[in-house]
């Protein structure tokens, strides 16, 4: 399998699929295509019909879009979703909510691992997104988290979907309290997150439009 991703510093959707691939245990080759430079679009289109990353290529079969990749990987590794039916339904709900929502957070607090933008981007709409995400994390931890440090205990696709928010909270100095704060700390310490973070810090390309606050 090949996983086509963008810059590790900026590409939040890529991080989701990459974590899902790591959690699934499949062996995969990573193809990193730096975004928004001459030739990027052609290089991505050679793999991904949407012209966007991430895209998984399983021996010629293209699977694009982060959530579709999670579902595809979960077919061979069911533990990517919680085993319990109710927990799995909630995991899918919060993952879909992330996939289709939190527009203000995505706009004003774009993922930018290398930067320290503490205090920036906190519009009323972003505050509402932060409050909703904090409520989701607290609720999942309280109802389903007993078996481990992550939203549903063990690491699942839902954690992969919220992983970029964890890096955003670090960059923008958002510090949730209680169970949500402990979850954030556990995610930022996870070895796969640290591996991705180290690679992001080592990247040299910058995308000025994504460096929102200088
Ligand atoms: N809904 C898609 C979003 C994918 C997406 O927007 N990817 C961005 C990078 S994070 C991209 O490929 N941008 C390049 C472009 O638009 O040319 C998913 O979940 O995978």
Residue with CA at minimum distance from ligand 1 atom 20: 65
Question: Which atom of ligand 1 sits closest to the CA of residue 40?
Answer: 17
Low-confidence ranges of the chain (pLDDT < 70): none
Pick 81-198's CATH classification: 1.20.1050.10, 1.10.10.10, 3.90.1150.10, 3.40.630.30.
Answer: 1.20.1050.10
Give me the pLDDT at residue 109, please.
Answer: 98
Are the CB atoms for 137 and 113 separated by under 8 Å? no
pTM of the model: 0.98
Q: Is the CB of 35 under 6 A from ligand 1?
A: yes
pLDDT in tens, 25-47: 999 999 999 999 999 999 999 99
Domain spans of the chain, in order of start: 2-77, 81-198
Q: What is the CATH number of domain 2-77?
A: 3.40.30.10
116-137 as b/e: b if 16+ CB within 10 A: ebeebbeeeebeebbeebbebb
Is there a common fold for 2-77 and 81-198?
Answer: no
């Amino acid at each position: 399998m090949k996983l086509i991703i963008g810059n590790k510093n900026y590409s939040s959707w890529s991080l989701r699929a990459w974590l899902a691939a790591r959690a699934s245990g499949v062996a995969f080759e990573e193809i990193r295509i730096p975004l928004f430079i001459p030739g990027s679009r052609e290089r991505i289109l050679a793999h991904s019909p949407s012209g966007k990353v991430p895209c998984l290529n399983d021996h010629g079969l293209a699977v694009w879009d982060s959530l579709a990749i999670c579902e595809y990987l979960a077919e061979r590794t069911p533990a990517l979703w919680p085993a319990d039916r109710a927990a799995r339904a909630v995991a899918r709900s919060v993952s879909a909510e992330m996939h289709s929502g939190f527009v203000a957070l995505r706009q004003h607090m774009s993922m930018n691992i290398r930067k320290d933008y503490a205090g920036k981007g906190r519009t009323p709409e972003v505050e509402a997104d932060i409050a909703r995400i904090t409520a989701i994390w607290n609720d999942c931890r309280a109802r389903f988290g007993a078996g481990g440090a992550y939203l549903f205990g063990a690491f699942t696709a839902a954690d992969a979907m919220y992983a970029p928010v964890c890096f955003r909270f670090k960059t923008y100095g958002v510090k949730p309290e209680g169970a949500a704060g402990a979850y954030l700390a556990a995610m930022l310490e996870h070895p796969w997150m640290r591996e991705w973070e180290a690679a992001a810090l080592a990247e040299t390309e910058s995308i000025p439009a994504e460096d929102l606050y200088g």
